[in-house]
Structure 1
Amino acid sequence: MPTPFNHLRVAQQLLKDPDVPPGTRHLLQVERSAFLLGNIAADARVSSGLPRAETHFYQYDQPMIEHPWQVMLSRYPIMATNEVQQAFIAGYVAHLSMDELWTTEILLPLFFEREWGIDRGYRFFMLNVLLAYLDERDYGHLEGWQADALFAARPDHWLPFIPDPDLCAWRDLVAQQLVNESQTLSILGARARRTPEEFRAVLDSPSKMQADLWDNVPPDAVQQVERHMYTFAREQMLVYLDSSA
């Protein structure tokens, strides 16, 4: 559930991470266009209309018996035929791993399984406010090379379940926002049935953020989960790359 810009910031960090073995880091840096696209590809469903479970390989109301990326490879034994596809799948694994922990450590325990605020609908709005807050933070940290690198990605039957035209359309939608401006509030607003102005009224008010969000979802807890998400994404990505070598 993290936004594309959250995933792109993690991808940016992974490309520099000294805990990623040098040879692996070199592969990802050389094929960074494919790696970036892999890190956002699961959300191509937003523009393609694919059901979420078909690209993320889990459902919110069912327990995760296996890591979603392992479910993906069990269902679709994707054998990377070259390094560019391998880098793409590595990014996809990192994405699914981040979303897995977001679901189990943020979404379910803090928003779906707890009663706070006016009602569940308002908690859903606050969930999207949190996403918007983190999105704006990470958007501001993305380096200038990312737009051109993302535009340069050329999928060639890298996935059996998302057609190349859908991947390209999603690539362009995200990359164009790196060139111009973010559309996150409009996208989240459509999901939450709120206007961008309603988001801004909360995001731009420290008192509203504190009373409506942080008093119920402590920022320290969010930061702890984010650290866990990053290390878990790195760990699972390396497991995949080791198994596909």
Structure 2
Amino acid sequence: MPTPFTHLAIAQRMLGDAAIPAAHRDLLIAHRGAFYLGQVAADGHELSAAKREDTHFYNYTTPITEHPWRVMMDRNPSLWDRHDEPFRAFLAGYIAHLGVDEHWLTAMLAPFFAERPDWADRYERFLMLHIILIHMDERDHAAVTSAHLFPAGDTAHQLGAAAPANWLPFMTDHGLREWGAVVYRQIKPDGRSETLDILAPRVKKTPADLRYILDTPNEINRRLWAFVPREYWMQTEREMYAFARDQMIAYLDGAR
């Protein structure tokens, strides 16, 4: 699934998106540290001793029949009762994250990487899934650490200052803070991305192996882009953003 840097780049874009009602954007901007933490929180499940499906509200083996954020709210109806602004900004980010992952799963991961035995064996498809995610991750790490609506360094500063206060019944405040710190140290002014170090063992490669594929046009073109059309990937990213934005707006509008 898209990495924390991709989720944060989406969060930055949302802060300036005129398609989001002004009152909602004002809320997110005023409490953008909480919003940023919400955008990455679900992936820190291990630091709250939770399973992935406990924080994402779907699993890879069962088709999604209801938006995961709706499942989350149905299972935890008390989330509707919190109205303090930092919490609402946080939960808006969390819902956007779930929307991004839902769309990526249904539009990209399932049809191109899970259900394409004609392309390559399962391992090669799994490896190329990570290559496309790292390709996005490196682009978005650069965006997150650069100036946008706010000066360079603001995203890291705001994320580092987020202060969860009993925000989720299925993740601990300590776990949320610790996960925020993991992301913060990689985007602060003197930070370094750890993506290759984290993902390489998952695909039984070294960081240098992944770096070679990413930096060798013939390799990435032959093994990835020949089977995943770039135009479709770019379209998927556009639609993924719009889908996540609309799910978030539905929550902020109070659409139960």
User: What is the count of residue pairs matched by the alignment?
Assistant: 245
Q: Which whole-Å deviations, capped at 9, do the CAs of 1:212-233 have from their partners, x for residues lacking one?
A: 0000111111100000010011
Structure 1 residues 191 and 49: alpha-carbon distance in aligned structure 2, compared to 1, 3 A threshold: farther
Q: 2:138 aligns with which of 121, 133, 136?
A: 136
Structure 1 residues 35 and 44: alpha-carbon distance in aligned structure 2, compared to 1, 3 A threshold: same
Match of 2:52 in 1: 52
Contact kept in structure 2, 1:117 and 1:212, CA below 8 Å:
no
Match of 2:149 in 1: none
Q: Which runs of 4+ in 1 moved over 3 A?
A: 46-49
2:114 maps to 1:105:
no
Offset at residue 33 of structure 1 (A): 0.5
2:213 maps to 1:202:
yes
Unaligned 5+ runs, structure 2: 147-151
Match of 2:158 in 1: 149
Alignment RMSD: 1.3
Q: 1:94 aligns with which of 72, 88, 96?
A: 96
Q: TM-score, normalised by structure 1?
A: 0.97
Q: Distance in 1 between matches of 2:45 and 2:206?
A: 22
Offset at residue 50 of structure 1 (A): 2.2
Contact kept in structure 2, 1:116 and 1:216, CA below 8 Å:
no
Q: Which whole-Å deviations, capped at 9, do the CAs of 1:180-233 have from their partners, x for residues lacking one?
A: 110011111122222111101100001101000000111111100000010011
2:228 maps to 1:229:
no
Identity of aligned residues (%): 45
Offset at residue 81 of structure 1 (A): 3.4
Match of 1:61 in 2: 61
Equivalent position amino acid for 1:51 in 2:
K
Match of 1:183 in 2: 194
Match of 2:70 in 1: 70
SS at match of 2:254: helix
Q: Distance in 1 between matches of 2:181 and 2:36?
A: 12
Q: TM-score, normalised by structure 2?
A: 0.93
Offset at residue 105 of structure 1 (A): 0.5
Unaligned 5+ runs, structure 1: none
Q: Distance in 2 between matches of 1:62 and 1:92?
A: 21
Q: 1:170 aligns with which of 166, 179, 196?
A: 179
Q: Distance in 2 between matches of 1:9 and 1:89?
A: 17
Q: Which whole-Å deviations, capped at 9, do the CAs of 1:60-87 have from their partners, x for residues lacking one?
A: 1111111000000000111223011000
Contact kept in structure 1, 2:48 and 2:172, CA below 8 Å:
no
Offset at residue 18 of structure 1 (A): 0.8
Q: Distance in 2 between matches of 1:234 and 1:39?
A: 12
